[in-house]
Structure 1
Amino acid sequence: MRAMTIALILSLTAGTVSAKPLLRDVPEIDDTILAVGIADEIRKNCPDISARVFQAYRIVTGLKSTARDLGYSDEEIDAYRKSDTEKARLKREGKTYLTQQGVTAGDPASYCAAGRDEIKKGGQIGALLRMN
């Protein structure tokens, strides 16, 4: 009976520990990575806008620390960061966002207009960009 009780307690606590959401479902992490990706797309496609490299570096390195503080291991963080599935999903979401902002693939002027709007808004994406 005692062994069965211990097994039950261990199974219940193991379920509690593993109940944290996937990193993709943590807005503080996923939304920030998405913003960095969108800013990078704008920067690569608009000759009038460049990246605030130090700011982007600081944000990206801070994400790992934030994820650790939320209880994620380095292995979980690296698996999320290196996942081809997650990269493809974020790329699709970024493309959708840019399209909603009036960006047309292959049209640098549309990327520049979106970038100027983001800079003006002063949000996460705009904070990563600067006019040349």
Structure 2
Amino acid sequence: MAWNAKEALMKLIPMTIAALMLAAPAFALVPINQEKTINDTLRSGFIADAIADNCPTLQPRRLRALNELLKLREYALSQGYSATEVRAFVEDKTEKARGKAEAATWLASKGAVPGKTDAYCAAGEAEIARGSLVGALLRSTR
């Protein structure tokens, strides 16, 4: 009886491996432009850039931004995206336009629209006070 159980187990192992191999596509990565952490981080960068461009008392923290981009690259690679995919994504003009549009929508929800310098400054100062990534990418010169 014990021998039959061992024989059954030996037959089950290859079938399990085959099933897992067939299921591998289910574990496929989402397209990089739909990955939440990557998109949220890049959106924060676009928001901080727009604030710095429109508020004279807030400046970008360029070294911090570079560090965040490097960390984001490492995150993307650790998730299984290739260096080529990552580079193509961050250099794609359509994706940049999408990121800037999402940033503009977020800023508009805070009242920061072109021509309202004070609103950009208020949004940036609020993010600095909150300790968010957007705030960490900015420094106040007041």
Q: TM-score range by the shorter chain?
A: 0.7 to 0.9
What amino acid maps onto 2:31 in structure 1? L
Deviations 1:73-103 (A, max 9, x none): 1111112111122111111110000000111
Over 3 Å counting, the alpha-carbon distance change for 1:63 and 1:88 in structure 2 is same
Aligned residues: 122
1:3-41 CA deviation, whole Å, 9 max, x = no partner?
Answer: xxxxxx7xx659728821011221111100000110011
The residue number in structure 2 matching 1:55 is: 64
TM-score, reference length from structure 2: 0.78
Structure with larger RCO (C-alpha < 8 A, sep 6+): 1
Between the two proteins, what is the percent identity of the paired residues? Answer: 37
Task: Give the number of the structure whose alpha-carbon radius of gyration is greater.
Answer: 2
Q: Which runs of 5+ in 2 are unaligned?
A: 1-17
Q: Secondary structure at the match of 2:59?
A: strand
Alignment of 1:37-52 (within 5 A): 37-52=46-61
Residues 99-110 of structure 1: pairs in structure 2 closer than 5 A: 99-110=108-119
Which residue identity does 1:76 align to in structure 2?
E
Q: How does 1:1-132 map to 2 (within 5 A)?
A: 16=25, 19-132=28-141
Q: What TM-score comes out, normalization by structure 1 length? A: 0.84
Structure 1 runs (4+) deviating above 3 angstroms are 12-15
> 1:37-73 CA deviation, whole Å, 9 max, x = no partner?
1001101111100112221110011111111100111
RMSD over aligned CA atoms reads 1.9
